[in-house]
């Protein structure tokens, strides 16, 4: 007989997550209710009027933390469903005393339950699961259904970014964006082929470091609403 167990480290992290004041894990109903800060993140949580930037599928939140260090004049929210990974980012933000960083544990298709129209100024999608099987295309974070979610929460002048090692996802996204009301501002198949990068693009997640070590090219797309 086999028993499923959760590692002690994970259990400890789950316990700490529950006590973190910057990490929200709402109970999910079907359909889930609107989150208490929806439309009021600035006034009720951040207590400022600064732009809100999301990292979707943030994992350990290397990008959330890296961007927050570079731009304290913005509010950052990392979003993921895997709490044991998100623990690292939430803990780092608390240790640094950063009040402009928060985390939400939820699935991406519920994102409209957390943010109101025009509430988000920027989105980073960093090394998402490429969902290579055609039968799972709807689960790609740049699929039309997800792009529609982003339209519904982003300001008209919002900027979105995709960073990936997956060339098929890069190509798919370049093809999909114009067909779904987005304009491509910039795209690069190999960002490190350039001599100089913007500081925001030099942040490296754990996954990026692994991909680079294997010789994978790092692709990037910057886009906005058409």
Q: In what order do the strands lie in the sheet with 182-188?
A: 23-24, 101-105, 75-80, 52-56, 120-126, 154-164, 219-225, 182-188
Give Dmax over CA atoms of the chain in angstroms. Answer: 57
User: Does residue 104 contact residue 115 with C-beta atoms inside 8 Å?
Assistant: no
Catalytic residue status for 186 = no
Active-site residue identified among 129, 157, 171, 186: 129
CA-to-CA separations, 87 to 38, 110, 120, 129, in angstroms, rounded: 22, 20, 23, 20
Does residue 104 sit in helix, strand or coil? strand
**Active site amino acids:** 129
């Amino acid at each position: 007989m086999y028993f499923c167990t959760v590692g002690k480290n994970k259990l400890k992290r789950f316990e700490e997550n529950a006590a973190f004041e910057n990490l929200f894990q709402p109970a999910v109903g079907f359909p889930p209710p609107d989150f208490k800060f929806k439309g009021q993140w600035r006034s009720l949580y951040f207590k400022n009027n600064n732009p809100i930037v999301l990292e979707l599928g943030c994992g350990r939140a290397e990008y959330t933390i890296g961007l927050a260090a570079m731009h304290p004049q913005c509010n950052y929210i990392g979003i993921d469903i895997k709490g044991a990974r998100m623990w690292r980012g939430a803990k780092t933000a608390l240790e640094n005393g950063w009040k402009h960083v928060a985390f939400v544990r939820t699935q991406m298709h519920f994102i409209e339950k957390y943010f109101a129209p025009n509430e988000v100024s920027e989105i980073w999608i960093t090394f998402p699961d490429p969902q290579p099987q055609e039968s799972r295309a709807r689960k790609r974070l740049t699929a039309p259904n997800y792009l529609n979610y982003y339209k519904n929460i982003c300001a008209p002048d919002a900027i979105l970014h995709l960073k990936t090692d997956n060339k098929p996802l890069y190509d798919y996204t370049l093809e999909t964006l114009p067909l779904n009301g987005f304009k491509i501002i910039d795209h690069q198949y190999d960002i490190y082929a350039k001599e100089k990068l913007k500081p925001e693009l030099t942040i490296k997640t754990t996954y990026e470091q692994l991909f680079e070590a294997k010789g994978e090219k790092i692709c990037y797309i910057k886009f906005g609403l058409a």
